[in-house]
Structure formats: C-alpha cells, structure tokens
Structure 1
C-alpha cells in the first residue's frame, strides 16, 4: 500500500488538481525541499513523485524527479507556468483545438492527436506532464460568450482560467493588460473610464464566484471594504481549493493562517474577499450552491 504524504495526512484528502498546480508553483520558486517535505512518502527526496487526474475528457499524469545532470535537451524546453496553464484549461473544459493552438503559439511541437506531452527542468529537477484525451471524450459544449477580446478570440465565456489569470496580472500591476483583454469591447471603445470594469461569474466546485476588477483613482478617499486586505496570492489559494472541492475548513484555514478572520461556517455558505492593490480594486463574492 502506498504511503500517504504529509498533505494527505494533515488535510485528510486525496491529492488532486490543487496539488499539481502547487507543485509546479514550488518548482518555479526552486523550492524543491518543500516539495519533497509535503509530497514525498517520507518527507525526503526519494525516487520520483507521481501525480494523476482522471477527468471527464482527459487523463493527466505528472512526474517529478531529480535528474543526473542539467537538462539542456529541447525536450525540456516547456516551463512550469505553461504546464499550469495547460492543466487549468483542461480542468475548465476548454475546446481541445484551442488548447493545441495555444501550445503551438508558445512554440510547443504538438500534433493534432489526443496526446500532449510537456517536459521542463529547473536546475536538476525535471517534470514530465502527459495529457491524454479519452477516445470517448464528450464533444465541446458550446456556451454563450461575451464581447471581451479573450472571449471573442477564444470563442468561450470567461471562467476560472481567466479569474486566475487576472489575479496573476494584478500582482504584476498590469492593469491596462487586464482591461484590454477582459472588458467588453463596446465599453472599452465608447464607455466612460468608471464603466471599464471586468465583471463575470464562474464556477469553482460547489460555489459560484462573482468576480469584479476595476481601476480606481488614488486621488479620492476610499474606504477599505470588509476583508479588503486579502492578498491576491491568498485569493488564488482559496479559489483553487474550492475549485478542487476541498472542505470549507481547509479554505477557512488558508485565510485564518494569513490573519483573515473567517469561520468554516461562513465559507460553507457565502463570503466575500477583496483587495485594493496599487490602482486596482478586486472583489470576489462566493456563494455555495
């Protein structure tokens, strides 16, 4: 029987999409000891780590191991960030053709089949990501989409993938990029400055998230909203936990560990998180269905 890792023991759950994204984030930070501490069977480097997801339309397998030397082969020219993006698109059910188009745009040699294989190395740690589309995978279900640039280019509504992307861009203070990509084109072209908001709903597990992003003026006095000091990184952690279906207690702990006062009961029903960052205001309302 496979030994349970620290995360499985302390959080009382099986490993899932949250952990694949987390491991790739730690790889980006060169936090290899932390990866093995959390996910190694004995908390120490030993052989390789294997992760897998069995989704409706895909089987995802990720392997992390220590290489004997620096990997200079073209095989390892993907990046942890690109792997995270691929996993998110698969989780959100994006059209398979769109996923392949995006990978080709990054220079990744992919065919037209149902198998995608990415590899990357950071130092002497290598990661292999294999995404297999099930032969009987359901056809893409068309969903009504809006007029923002992303929706028009990708022919899909905004969802969890975009929410996470906006949080990343906000951390880098790329307000203009967010507005140009995600504000409806008619408002972008003819609307007043205060109308240029990003506003949409998306699903995360059992929750509906109402997301709002807007540019604000620092010249006007503004009251900080309740729970308005939540970092975008913490927001990201909470959203990913809820998306993966984690217990409300785990999402609540994610917040209380950062000094945000909230109860598991609130998380299990409805709550709001907000952030004023530079000239950006972000608000997310969570409603359990």
Structure 2
C-alpha cells in the first residue's frame, strides 16, 4: 500500500513551491533532494519515511513543478530561505530536515538562519568542496548533456548511458522529469559547490546532526570526516559502503539502515507493493 497523500503548491518566499506529501502522521520530516532530482524521483524513499513520519519532499526552485526560468536567484541563500518559508507557510513548527547532496548544503544554511523548530539534520553525502578545496567529483558535461538530451525527449534506455546502474523504472522516471531541471539553476548550484564553503556552518547547526557517507561516492573522504568531526565533535557519522553518491538508488536497504535510530525509530526498507 502506498503512503502517498497528495502533491500541492504553496506561495512561499515569493515563489511557487511544489511539494509531495507522504504518510501524514507522526513527527514532521522535510526532505530536500539534490541538484537534478525533482521531488518525484525521491518518492520511493518517501514511501519508507511515510511509514513513520509526516513526510514532505520539496521541488527546489528551478526543478520539477516549482517556480523556474529567468529572473530567479538560484543561489544557496534563496534556496535556504525557500525551505524556511515553506515550513512557515505550511505551519510546520517542529521538523527533521534531510538533504541529499546539494539539498544537504541547503538544509544546513536553512537551519542556521532559522534554528527554531529544527529537531535534527541528516546530511546525505554533501559536497564538501569549496574555495581551495578538492573539486567536487561530478563533471559539468554529465549534467549539461543529460539535461539537453532530456529537453529534446529521451526514454529510460537513452538514460542508461548516464545512469547505468539504475533500474529501468528509475531511469525512466529520470528521463521523464529531467527536462524540468532549468540549466542555469543547475549551473549555479554546481558552481556554488566550488565557490561556497559549508564548513563554516557545522559549529552553528542548532540540532543533532547525522552525516551519511557513500563508500563509493568519492564526495566525502576520510580526511573530510576528520575535519567535520573536529568542527562538530558530537556529529553522528554513518557509512553505506557499497553505494555511490545516489545512495538509496545503489543500496536501498543500506540507506535506511545507516540512519539507525537517529530519527527516533528504526526504518525498515520495504518497498510499497
């Protein structure tokens, strides 16, 4: 049985924000996806969270069905403000924040800017690149070429060259929705990976924090973990050894196991029938 409740739109921080809601009961959880992941592509993950939490997935501006196009600011500050404005508009007063990759960087900034209400933060393989640091391992042509091909129209088979390890269902879903990722928004986020350093925020995070590391992702290395641990001694760090950067796609069970009881309950990775 699916835990999906509805999709919706809300005006918050001066833009239209689109969301998907799962579960509807229990503590509130807000999930912010990565750089080219519209909310719907995280639905299979939200089905599990929805067993225990009132789960909301956001379409980050410039992606999915949220506001997009020319004239918008796609930088970290605006995207962090979007998260806080969404929570306020939906009257979400206490919530867990989970962010993958780019989304992890955004929830860090959002929590620092508006700490009230943040129960916990889960940072899923966040890019730790920045000025003077090791480059983010993702290459810009991979994003640009796949988006432009999606704009022309592509199917799951064509997506295989970009996501060879994914299931046919997941490749098809990405092929269907990737065209909604506005290239200038993606470029801004990619550039910010290298121009904005998130390490300054670790000491300021207002709630307990989990760092989840992809063993095969190459994004967070042991030396990065050591630096983060020094900045935030109480941080919980877990590893999904056999997963690349897109952790739940590579190791669905391992992703949820890596939370342990951090969110207050153990998560059981049973895909909906």
Task: Point out the structure with max Rg over C-alpha.
Answer: 1
Structure with the higher fraction of residues in strand conformation: 1
Give the structure-2-normalised TM-score: 0.31
Give the structure-1-normalised TM-score: 0.30
Q: Which has the higher contact order (CA 8 A, sep 6+)?
A: 2
